[in-house]
Amino acid sequence: MLNEEICKLREELNNSITSGKDYKEIYEISIELDRLIALYYRKNIKGKKQKKKKLCKKIFNFVIA
C-alpha cells in the first residue's frame, strides 16, 4: 500500500515538473513524497530489526537447550 502511494506521488511529481506547474505546488508534492519514503524506510528497518532479534533469540534458545 505504501509502495503504491509512493509510486503514485512520484508520478504526480514528475508530471508537475514536466508540465511546468507552480514551484510551490511541486515543492509540496516533493515534501509529501519525502515523508512517505522516510516512513517506508522506517517501517522496513524496524521490521528487519525485530526479525533479527527473534532469530537471535531462537538461535540462543537452541544453543542453550
pLDDT tens sequence across 12-44: 999 999 999 999 999 999 999 999 999 998 888
Q: What is the pLDDT of residues 50-61, one digit of tens each?
A: 666 665 555 555
Nearest one of 31, 27, 5 to 16, comparing CA atoms: 27
The predicted model scores a pTM of 0.69
Side chain identity at residue 65, one-letter code: A
pLDDT value of position 65: 46
- Split into its structural domains, the chain has a count of 1
Range of the domain at 36: 2-64
